[in-house]
């Protein structure tokens, strides 16, 4: 792996972890605000604060993707396709289990983003990413 690629990956990880730290702080702030705000526009804005950090993480990741060589882009695209496939199967399975009353769970979408990130990381390894 070239020095240029190593440097780009290091920069990407720093940016991504920075945005994820902001996400954790945003979730904490939004949770704290949710306890003191009444239902209404201010509560809606507070609830969307973490989504801004997620959008930032998406921007950082996409910018990194654009800077990759063709081989790495292909690995990332294949990993993304596999992640989408797994997510569809898992989401559908959980939806059916919940619909038919097998079990009930709350806050299911809060865990969707971390699930996708972990699945994508595993898929990248499976597809031959050498990071």
Per-residue pLDDT of 89-125, as tens digits, reads 988 888 888 888 887 777 667 777 778 888 888 888 8
Spatial neighbors of 97 by CB under 8 A, at least 6 apart, are 103
Q: Beta-carbon neighbour count of residue 23 at 10 Å?
A: 19
The model's pTM is 0.69
Residues 5 and 57 in one domain: yes
Residues 91 and 63 in one domain: no
Residues 125 and 100 in one domain: yes
Residues 3 and 59 in one domain: yes
Residues 55 and 113 in one domain: no
pLDDT band at 3; cut points 50, 70, 90:
confident
Residues 59 and 2 in one domain: yes
Residue at which a domain ends, from 29, 45, 67: 67
Residues 96 and 113 in one domain: yes
State the Cα–Cα distance between residues 103 and 94, nearest whole angstrom: 9
- In terms of Cα–Cα distance, which of 97, 77, 100 is closest to 89? 97
pLDDT of residue 81: 92
Per-residue pLDDT reduced to its tens digit, 11-35:
888 888 898 889 889 888 888 888 8
pLDDT over 90 percentage in the chain = 7
Could you tell me the residue range of the domain that residue 111 belongs to? 70-131
Residues 63 and 86 in one domain: no
Domain count for the chain: 2
């Amino acid at each position: 792996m070239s020095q240029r690629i190593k440097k780009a990956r290091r920069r990407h990880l720093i940016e991504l972890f920075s945005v994820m730290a902001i996400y954790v702080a945003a979730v904490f702030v939004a949770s704290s605000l949710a306890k003191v705000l009444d239902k209404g526009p201010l509560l809606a804005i507070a609830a969307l604060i973490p989504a801004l950090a997620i959008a930032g993480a998406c921007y950082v990741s996409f910018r990194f993707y654009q800077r990759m060589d063709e081989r790495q882009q292909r690995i990332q695209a294949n990993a993304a396709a596999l992640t989408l496939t797994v997510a569809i199967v898992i989401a559908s399975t959980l939806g059916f289990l919940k619909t038919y009353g097998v079990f009930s769970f709350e806050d299911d979408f809060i865990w969707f983003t971390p699930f996708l990130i972990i699945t994508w990381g595993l898929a990248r390894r499976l597809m031959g990413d050498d990071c």
